[in-house]
């Protein structure tokens, strides 16, 4: 296909696309290789954003591309009315490598969270407590854009246009153990946590808070749901962030990295909770199709057996150390947060957009959160020398 130039693409977008994204960052990429992305204008950018923490294996990964081509030439979709080999095999991989007993595949993170919420409610129905329909989540959390997940999201700016919201969520401050205990009542069906809040600027929960959430859920026989849509699939240096915290959720969700760029989401549960779903209680047309689950199989195999998880852990540590060193040299940095390859750099002044723009001019892509935070979530194949390029560039810009 012959490509349009950037101005032509912008004109089409302005005329035909719903204006939900406003003015986008002025670039359009046409190809990629590793952590490099090439634009319509032929410029090469270093990608430390990975399409919002998605491209786990980087761009145009040799094996992922080859296996997807093979799958495309074979079979794309049949539906879960029939058995699907790749779906069954990816379910096995996820269960055999995590604390979960059962999996359900869908296509996005929001959908995975919706499924988790439904499962937690259905569990209470099965237990004869149908009045338990409410959830506790955190302020500044992000759980998705469907109506239930917007309600779960603890950021009023995403909720305001859609009030009243359907589901009841009580939002408490991260790491406020007393508030967490105080929020549980006889209508609560579960607690939903991001262990590291990515979208709102990389805010980690403490270990004590996560452990307390686990304890409260066990005491009350309600679901501890960990949203691993952003933190999962190796991003924190472990397969899932809950491993870092030493807790076992009843249900956990994932998406983003699982398909390496092919849309796929999933929620996993212990047998105790998964058993609440009976035939017909949940479903999807696209979820777990042969193509997306083939992508998931490659990503998981590269992570577990191909050294990618090990790289994410080592490079993640190097990224953390490098950013902490940068903070000691640059007084404009207030704080560095996160784990593995999800890191936030907070500035003392509202300069994040300007820093992000200057990095963009240097052909380096990072995320910007609000006025003060850079979000750094590179592909999991990033190397120490790539990280040096990033930290050197931030230093120059500051
Ligand atoms: C923690 C978390 N949960 C859920 C979502 C929603 O995922 P999706 O955009 O695939 O629906 C996101 C997306 O950024 C996320 O970061």
Q: Looking at the domain assignment, is residue 331 inside a domain? A: no
Q: Looking at the domain assignment, is residue 36 inside a domain? A: no
Nearest ligand 1 atom to the CA of 144 is 6
Q: Looking at the domain assignment, is residue 171 inside a domain? A: yes
Q: Is the CB of 198 under 6 A from ligand 1?
A: yes
Cis preceding-peptide flag for 157 (omega within 30 of 0) = no
Are 139 and 173 a contacting pair, CB within 8 Å? yes
Report the pLDDT value the prediction gives residue 68, as an integer from 0 to 100: 98
pTM of the model: 0.98
Supply the range of the domain harboring residue 264: 80-305
Split at pLDDT 50, 70, 90, the class of 167 is: confident
Q: Looking at the domain assignment, is residue 65 inside a domain? A: no
Closest by CA to 142, choosing from 133, 152, 157, 128, is 152
Q: Looking at the domain assignment, is residue 236 inside a domain? A: yes
Q: Is the CB of 259 under 6 A from ligand 1?
A: no
- From 55, 199, 257, the mutation candidate for ligand 1 (largest count of ligand atoms within 8 A of CB) is 199
Nearest ligand 1 atom to the CA of 231 is 1
- Three-class SS of residue 59? strand
- From 20, 55, 116, 142, the mutation candidate for ligand 1 (largest count of ligand atoms within 8 A of CB) is 142
Q: Looking at the domain assignment, is residue 219 inside a domain? A: yes
Split at pLDDT 50, 70, 90, the class of 330 is: very high
Non-local (6+) Cβ contacts of 95 within 8 A are 101, 102, 103, 268
How high is the mean pLDDT of the chain?
98
Q: Looking at the domain assignment, is residue 230 inside a domain? A: yes
Report the pLDDT value the prediction gives residue 166, as an integer from 0 to 100: 82
Q: Looking at the domain assignment, is residue 137 inside a domain? A: yes
Q: 83 C-alpha vs ligand 1 centroid, how far in Å?
A: 28
Closest by CA to 53, choosing from 326, 352, 312, 395, is 312
pLDDT (mean) for 144-157: 96
Helix axes 85-96, 290-305, angle to 10 degrees: 30
Non-local (6+) Cβ contacts of 71 within 8 A are 86, 290, 291, 294
Q: Is the CB of 386 under 6 A from ligand 1?
A: no
Q: Is the CB of 110 under 6 A from ligand 1?
A: yes
Residue that has been written with the tokens 């899932």 in this structure? 240
Q: Is the CB of 194 under 6 A from ligand 1?
A: yes
Our count of domains for the chain comes to 1
* CATH assignment at residue 128: 3.40.640.10
Closest by CA to 248, choosing from 276, 230, 278, 268, is 268
DSSP per residue, 81-114: TS--HHHHHHHHHHHHTSS-SEEEEESSHHHHHH
């Amino acid at each position: 296909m012959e490509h349009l130039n950037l101005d032509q693409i912008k004109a089409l977008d302005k005329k035909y696309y719903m204006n939900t994204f406003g003015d986008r960052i002025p670039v359009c990429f046409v190809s990629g290789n590793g952590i490099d992305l090439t634009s319509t204008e032929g410029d090469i950018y270093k990608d430390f954003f990975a399409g919002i923490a998605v491209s786990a294996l980087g761009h145009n990964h040799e094996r992922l591309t080859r296996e997807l081509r093979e799958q495309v030439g074979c079979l794309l979709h049949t539906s879960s009315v029939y058995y699907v080999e790749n779906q069954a095999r990816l379910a096995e991989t996820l269960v055999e490598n995590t604390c979960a007993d059962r999996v359900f595949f869908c296509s996005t993170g929001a959908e995975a969270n919706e499924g988790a919420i439904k499962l937690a409610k259905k569990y209470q129905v099965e237990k004869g407590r149908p009045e338990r329909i409410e959830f506790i989540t955190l302020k500044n959390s992000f759980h998705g854009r469907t109506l239930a997940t917007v309600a779960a999201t603890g950021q009023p700016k995403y909720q305001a246009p859609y009030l009243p919201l359907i589901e009841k969520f009580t939002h408490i401050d991260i790491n406020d153990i007393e508030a967490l205990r105080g929020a549980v009542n006889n209508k609560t069906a579960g607690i939903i946590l991001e262990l590291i809040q990515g979208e709102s600027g990389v805010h980690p929960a403490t270990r004590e808070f996560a452990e307390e959430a686990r304890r409260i859920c066990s005491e009350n026989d309600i679901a501890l749901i960990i949203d691993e849509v952003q933190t999962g699939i190796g991003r924190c240096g472990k397969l899932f962030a809950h491993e870092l915290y030493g807790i076992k959720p009843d249900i956990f969700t994932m998406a983003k990295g699982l398909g390496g760029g092919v849309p796929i989401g999933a929620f996993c549960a212990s047998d105790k909770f998964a058993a609440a779903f009976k035939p017909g209680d949940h479903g999807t047309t696209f979820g777990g199709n042969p193509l997306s689950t083939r992508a998931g199989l490659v990503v998981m195999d590269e992570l577990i057996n191909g050294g990618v998880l090990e790289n994410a852990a080592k490079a993640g540590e190097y990224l953390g150390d490098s950013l902490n060193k940068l903070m000691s040299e640059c007084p404009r940095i207030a704080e560095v947060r996160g784990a593995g390859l999800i890191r936030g750099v907070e500035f003392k002044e509202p300069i994040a957009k300007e820093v992000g723009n200057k990095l963009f001019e240097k052909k380096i892509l990072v995320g910007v959160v609000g006025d003060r935070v850079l979000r750094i979530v590179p592909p999991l194949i990033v190397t120490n020398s790539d990280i040096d390029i990033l930290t050197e560039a931030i230093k120059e810009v500051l």
